[in-house]
Structure 1
Amino acid sequence: MDPVSAAIGRLFGAVPAGLHRLQGGDLSEVWKVRLADGRDVVAKAGPLVLREARMLEAMAEAGAPVPRVLASEKTLIVMEYLPEARPGPDSWRALGAGLARLHETTAARYGWPVDYAFGEVAIPNARGADWLAFWTDHRLLEGRDVLPAGLAHRLDRLAHRLPDLIPDSPPAALLHGDLWTGNALFTEAGAYLIDPACYHGDAEVDLAMLELFGRPHDAFYEVYGRPGGDWDSRRAVYQLWPALVHLRLFGTGYIGMVEDRLARLGA
């Protein structure tokens, strides 16, 4: 018996009736599972899934729409299955409302109780009261030693300019932390947030990530509200970090994304 079926058997008292690997999951393994009682659930395996489960619970406590965690065991969590549907204006509005509720939950400090990771890329989350220091040390310059020297020097120069580019003390909002459009799951009932990498920080981090590979429907901003001021610069700063993560995880195919954000910032 495969390890996933065995684990689900322990958690639910019976071996599953079916197991189907889902697409995606570059950094983890995900299955749609038919339980012995006929229910469909989603199982996700990986070294940090219990930390993800706690993030989902924190988001649910904040009133954000997330899949319910049904059971967990060491490196496996089991969540409710949510059938996807084509997104329309109403579901984009639901996403805007859900994200706004998430961001209304704030903390006294930036960061998260534990560190996280995307595959081999570490995500340090040490808590602190200084947003500029958090973004500089734990995001922008994290991993600079493994980057080409020229790129690392450009990031160093940009770090000195951050006080002119992003706010120094925004509310420490509860963030999804990896909110690209693929981590918004649309259903007939609305929109859900999946695959989080939570920490507390500037709410605009999630908005910037949501625009990294596309743009939300206008209906999203009708509910959430549009960023003001020099959003183009702040968005480029906050998009630079996931661009660097993609470069480290998936290779030089993402160097253009990194170069584009640096050019927008005059770096």
Structure 2
Amino acid sequence: MTPPGFDPRSAPRGVSRAVLPGGRRVVVKRDVGAAAEAAGLRWLAVPGGPPVPEVLDAGQDWLVGEEVPAGSPSREAAAAFGRRLATLHAAGAPAFGSPPPGGPVEARIGGTGMRNVPGDSWPEWFAEHRILAYVRRARLPETAVFDEVCARLPDLAGPPEPPARLHGDLWSGNVLWSPTGAWLIDPAAHGGHRETDLAMLALFGLPHLDTVRSAYDDAAPLAPGWRDRVPLHQLFPLLVHTVLFGGRYAGQAVEAAHAALRT
């Protein structure tokens, strides 16, 4: 709990920084997705996993979290991050699409909605809740290629894997490099396929990505063909970006769908 004399609900909308009575520096977020984010951060705080900011207090549309000290990426930190990410994924989830404990079904990713609806089969769940749901919302001029991807997903998905505990929005901006290594922030946490987190890391250019993936693969070997499946797993973030920003992301999503079908 935050100390007396500090009211996070008086902070401006969005993300701001504050100093608590006593001198502790914190990040205050006022946003409609704050409750889901707080539940996600608590769920991702796995022993041996990547560090996440401690949630000091949270309400329906606000949270107060630990501020992460700034640092710089290094190969050593990237290797440690890869191993720790493997540990996080291995912590598992009850089902594909399952929300964190206490997290809402109607969650958020970036500035748009994301439904956490549990499913037993990853191909069917991914098709319905992470591809087609966003194709419908994006109003893309070309949708047949996405229908084909979904129809072929059982064959494109690779060997079956158990639900992994995903960050869910793991682009490079949500990896903070501190003096003690890489931290995770701003999750859209849910149960999913571990290759989705890794594919999202590749989408927007993470420093030392090859080191991260090599260390991950050493700790928890990836299934054969995982490199060929990167475009398939990138469909979700690309479609989210198409919903949010349109423009070139629509073309990238279509290209990724065609690439997924070529595997």
Say if 1:146 and 1:74 are closer, same or farther in 2 by CA, change over 3 A.
Answer: closer
For 1:74 and 1:20, locate their aligned partners in 2 and report how far apart those are by CA, in whole Å.
14
Amino acid at match of 1:221: R
Say if 1:124 and 1:55 are closer, same or farther in 2 by CA, change over 3 A.
Answer: same
1:48 is aligned to 33
Structure 1 vs Structure 2 CA RMSD? 2.5
For 1:168 and 1:228, locate their aligned partners in 2 and report how far apart those are by CA, in whole Å.
7
Please list the CA deviations of residues 178-235 of structure 1 after superposition, one character each: whole Å capped at 9, or x if unmatched.
1011111110011111111111121111000000112551331342117453234311
Identity of aligned residues (%): 36
Q: 2:16 aligns with which of 10, 13, 31?
A: 31
CA apart distance, 1:108: 4.0
Larger radius of gyration: 1
For 2:98 and 2:110, locate their aligned partners in 1 and report how far apart those are by CA, in whole Å.
18
Indicate the SS of the match to 2:229. helix
Q: Which runs of 5+ in 1 are unaligned?
A: 1-9, 22-27
Q: Which runs of 5+ in 2 are unaligned?
A: 100-104
**Count of matched residue positions in the alignment of Structure 1 and Structure 2:** 250
2:212 is aligned to 220
CA apart distance, 1:170: 1.1
Please list the CA deviations of residues 110-145 of structure 1 after superposition, one character each: whole Å capped at 9, or x if unmatched.
112423123663312211211111101000101333
Alignment of 1:57-72 (within 5 A): 57-61=42-46, 63-64=48-49, 65-72=51-58
For 2:189 and 2:131, locate their aligned partners in 1 and report how far apart those are by CA, in whole Å.
17
Contact 2:34 2:59 in 1 (8 A): no
2:231 is aligned to 236
1:76 partnered with 2:70: no
CA apart distance, 1:238: 0.7
User: When the two structures are superposed, what TM-score results if normalisation uses the length of structure 1?
Assistant: 0.84
Amino acid at match of 1:175: L
Q: After the TM superposition, which parts of structure 1 deviate over 4 Å for at least 4 consecutive aligned residues?
A: none
1:103 is aligned to 89
Greater relative contact order, per chain length (Cα 8 Å cut-off, separation 6+): 2
Say if 1:121 and 1:73 are closer, same or farther in 2 by CA, change over 3 A.
Answer: closer
User: When the two structures are superposed, what TM-score results if normalisation uses the length of structure 2?
Assistant: 0.85
CA apart distance, 1:168: 6.3
For 1:20 and 1:149, locate their aligned partners in 2 and report how far apart those are by CA, in whole Å.
38
